C-alpha cells in the first residue's frame, strides 16, 4: 500500500510538472499577445487567435457570414478579425452591419443605423466605427495584436446583441440614458465585457485591455474613462474563470 500511495503521489507530481511546462510553453510561445504574463492566473480558456492561422479562411467566412455585411476598409487584418469575432455571435450572421473608419474619441463604437426609428426591429441595421485618428485617443488599433483586435470587435458585437433585445422606443431611451447617465454607461460597457467573455473571447478581451494599460501614449481622458467604465484586467480574469466553471 505504501508503494502504491507513493506511486500515486509521484504520478500526481509528474502531472503537475507537465501542466506547468505546457502552460509555460504557451505563455512564452504567444509573443504577439500583450497579456502573456497573466496567463498563469487563468485555469482555462487560454486559446489565442493568430492572423496566419485564419487568413486562408476569409473566403469561407464571407460565404457563411458575409450577407448584409459591409466592411468599408482596406485593412485585411481588421476584416478577418471582424469575421473571427462574428463566429461567436451566430445571432448576427444575418444582421446588417457596416464597418467603417471614422475619427472618434474611442477605439471602436457600435451604434444602430440612423434610420432605425423608421424600421422594424428585425430590419434594423448597425454600424461599427473604428477610429482612424490615433491622435484623438493615443491608441492606434493597428498596433493591437490580432488576438486583441478580435476581442475588442467582439465587445462591439456584444453591444449589438444588447440592442437587438430592445424595441425602437426602448433603444431610443437607452441611447439617451447612455449619453446623459454615467451609471448607464458604466453598466452597459461592463455588461458588454461580460458578454464578450461568455462568448469565449475573454483572453482576446484581456489582450486588448493589457495593451491599453501598457500604452503610454493613451490620452489621460480616454484612460480615465476606460478604467472607470470597463472591466479591469483582474476582473476579466475572474470572469473568465467563472465562465470556465459553468
Structure confidence by residue, pLDDT tens digits, 71-110: 999 999 999 999 999 999 999 999 999 999 999 999 999 9
Tens digits of residue pLDDT in 169-197: 999 999 999 999 999 999 999 999 999 99
**Beta partners for residue 111, in sequence order:** 127
Tell me the C-alpha distance between 227 and 215, whole Å: 13
209 grid coordinates: 485591455
pLDDT band at 44 (very low <50, low <70, confident <90, very high): low
Strands ordered across the beta sheet of 96-101: 69-72, 96-101, 125-130, 108-112
Higher pLDDT, 211 or 244: 211
**Residue 245: other Cβ atoms inside 10 A:** 8
Tell me the C-alpha distance between 56 and 44, whole Å: 27
Question: Once rounded to an integer, what is the mean pLDDT over residues 107-121?
Answer: 93
Tell me the C-alpha distance between 189 and 193, whole Å: 6
Closest CA to 227 of 181, 172, 189: 189
pLDDT at position 59, please? 96
Higher pLDDT, 245 or 150: 150
Higher pLDDT, 122 or 157: 157
pLDDT at position 99, please? 98
Does pTM surpass 0.95? no
Helices (H), the chain: 2-29, 51-54, 58-65, 76-86, 146-163, 168-180, 182-196, 202-214, 220-229, 233-244
Amino acid at each position: 500500500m505504501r508503494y502504491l500511495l507513493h506511486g500515486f503521489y509521484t504520478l500526481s507530481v509528474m502531472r503537475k510538472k507537465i501542466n506547468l511546462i505546457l502552460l509555460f510553453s504557451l505563455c512564452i510561445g504567444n509573443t504577439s499577445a500583450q497579456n502573456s504574463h497573466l496567463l498563469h492566473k487563468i485555469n482555462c480558456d487560454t486559446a489565442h487567435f493568430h492572423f496566419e492561422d485564419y487568413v486562408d479562411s476569409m473566403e469561407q467566412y464571407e460565404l457563411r457570414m458575409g450577407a448584409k455585411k459591409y466592411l468599408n476598409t482596406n485593412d485585411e487584418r481588421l476584416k478577418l478579425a471582424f469575421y473571427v469575432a462574428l463566429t461567436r455571435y451566430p445571432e448576427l450572421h444575418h444582421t446588417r452591419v457596416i464597418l467603417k473608419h471614422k475619427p472618434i474619441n474611442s477605439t471602436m463604437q457600435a451604434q444602430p443605423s440612423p434610420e432605425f426609428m423608421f424600421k422594424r426591429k428585425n430590419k434594423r441595421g448597425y454600424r461599427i466605427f473604428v477610429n482612424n485618428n490615433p491622435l484623438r485617443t493615443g491608441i492606434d488599433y493597428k498596433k493591437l495584436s490580432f488576438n486583441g483586435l478580435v476581442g475588442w470587435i467582439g465587445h462591439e458585437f456584444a453591444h449589438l446583441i444588447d440592442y437587438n433585445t430592445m424595441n425602437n422606443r426602448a433603444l431610443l431611451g437607452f441611447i439617451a440614458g447612455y449619453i446623459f447617465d454615467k451609471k448607464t454607461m458604466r453598466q452597459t460597457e461592463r455588461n458588454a465585457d461580460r458578454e464578450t467573455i461568455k462568448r469565449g473571447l475573454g483572453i482576446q478581451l484581456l489582450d486588448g485591455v493589457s495593451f491599453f494599460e501598457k500604452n503610454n501614449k493613451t490620452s489621460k481622458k480616454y484612460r480615465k474613462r476606460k478604467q472607470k467604465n470597463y472591466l479591469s484586467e483582474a476582473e476579466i480574469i475572474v470572469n473568465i474563470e467563472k465562465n470556465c466553471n459553468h
